Chains A and B, each alone.
Chain A
């Protein structure tokens, strides 16, 4: 892997597995990240996102597999590799009794920033995380959103090549979520970012690429456009006053798939690149189905997972991993 990695690949994890007793928490997960790219790790609770992230950051030793950060093997040279990673765990590692400035100085010194650069680094991290006026505040007295920002500031203080954020928007109010998201997008300009979440729209809003984990396995890995197509960017939710039989509706909108969602409510999923809206409207008028609501349907995360895992069982995993699983 070391020889084939092009210079712009900042992080490569190959065949990562982690076992807790008999429970395989992460099973052969590979991921690759290029500079300036934001990768979303998506998965339901307990899918192995946090475990995968702990392995990438060296907090947990993998049972199998290797991690390579900017050409440095994490297992062979942990300190050198860790210097290139900034990590915000699920629960921000904050010392609540310290002031923001004190805490960031401590974080900087842990990353061996020399005394002369430390002041600048703290100022820059604070500015980027929107904490410029908060330096003298006690961390314990800050709101959750600001604590999260301190956590992010801590992760970027040493200007790492890879920033890893574990569920950075959990528990924040909508305004704070928006602010944190724009901060992450900004980080993505210079650093590589991995972020985990179980919120699908969040991934769509921020990430360039997405990997979906389910029970420790990668069940989907593609660019964000691939995910949009996959989860039915062209699917419609229709509500009919006088619904026909499901088969009739199905025939009417061929080749799209129809699912019944509720009483008189159907979801019409067009294959990628096709749109069945016109067809549906025409049929509805002609046959007097009494269409009263038509909206673009968004598959929920759960549905995507159900879909993906069904595919997984069929042995047709939609993944672009094959490229990464054949190292020279």
Chain B
């Protein structure tokens, strides 16, 4: 993966955008610092700088994960290298888990970049570490879900570009599906990734959200395994 330029371009791009946000938010914080000091119960450094960074980070993840996951399986098919994996003494589950873990390691790298930037603020201020880690957990879970869905879609086709576009469409749909709901009690809110992720941004690590992301990830991993298996059986 790191032999290809794609990984580096994605990393560089994300870092560039995140750094921009980071600096802009710090700048904003410094301007309003005096007022904030006088306001009781005012938002602190974490809320003003770190949270927007994670928020933008989630958008960047939404856009870049399709590019990263698109080739996981479809490229193997395209290059006819799937046979190497299929005839090796490893199971379909191991193939899928291996691909998934590789993806997660890469996404963790992105998270790490954000984390390091946030922690650098400790040099000159105080951070709400609880809020910071709630954000981090949220972004990680979101990344896992994206990776699992992207992986499954990559299993469906032999064309990486098709996989990328399809993944992006699915991510976007899941992201903003709550917008379609007029009723605040609508079940669409339950499956909206944005709604789920917002909780983490506010610093709430709810069990339901944890379970939701875990279920979403496992479901798509199992679907991927089934998909590869059925290919061996019916293709």
Contacts and interface: CB of A to CB of B under 8 A. Distances in A.
Interface of A: 57-61, 78-80, 82-83, 85, 87, 89, 91-98, 107, 110-112, 154
A112 B233 CA distance: 25
Contact of B81 (A61, A80, A83, A93): A93
B80 A91 contact: yes
A61 B88 contact: no
Given A61-B233, A79-B89, A110-B88, A98 B3 contact: yes
A96 B79 contact: yes
25 contacts: A57-B83, A57-B87, A58-B86, A59-B83, A59-B87, A60-B235, A61-B232, A78-B91, A79-B89, A79-B91, A80-B89, A83-B89, A91-B80, A93-B79, A93-B80, A94-B79, A95-B79, A95-B81, A97-B4, A107-B84, A110-B90, A111-B88, A111-B89, A112-B89, A154-B84
Contacts of A96: 79
Which residue, of A79, A98, A107, has the highest number of chain B Cβ atoms within 10 A? A79
A57 B80 CA distance: 15
Place the interface of chain B in its size category: 10 to 19
B126 interface: no
Contact of A110 (B3, B85, B232): B85
Interface string B2-16: 011000000000000
Nearest to A166: B83
Interface string B81-104: 111111111110000000000000
Contacts, number: 56
Contacts of B83: 57, 59, 87, 89, 93
B91 A93 contact: no
Q: Chain B at the A interface: mostly helix, strand, loop or mixed?
A: loop
A96 B235 CA distance: 26
B74 to A, nearest CB: 15
Contacts of A111: 88-89
Nearest to B94: A79
Interface in B105-122: none
B65 to A, nearest CB: 22
Nearest to A86: B87
Interface in B140-171: none
A98 B91 CA distance: 24
B232 A60 contact: yes
Given A59-B232, A60-B235, A61-B233, A93 B82 contact: yes
Give the 8 A-B residue pairs with the shortest CB-CB distance, closest first. A93-B84, A110-B88, A83-B89, A93-B81, A91-B80, A87-B87, A82-B89, A79-B89
Interface in B35-86: 79-86
Nearest to A83: B89
Contacts of B86: 57-59
B81 A82 contact: no
A112 B91 CA distance: 13
B3 A97 contact: yes
Given A59-B232, A93-B81, A107-B84, 12 more contacts: A57-B83, A57-B87, A58-B86, A58-B87, A59-B86, A61-B233, A85-B87, A87-B83, A110-B89, A110-B90, A111-B88, A111-B89
Contacts of A154: 84
B234 to A, nearest CB: 8
A60 B86 CA distance: 9
A236 B56 CA distance: 81
Q: Which of B3, B83, B91 has the most CB of A within 10 A?
A: B83
A111 to B, nearest CB: 6
Contacts of A92: 80
Nearest to B232: A61
Contacts of B87: 57-59, 82, 85, 87
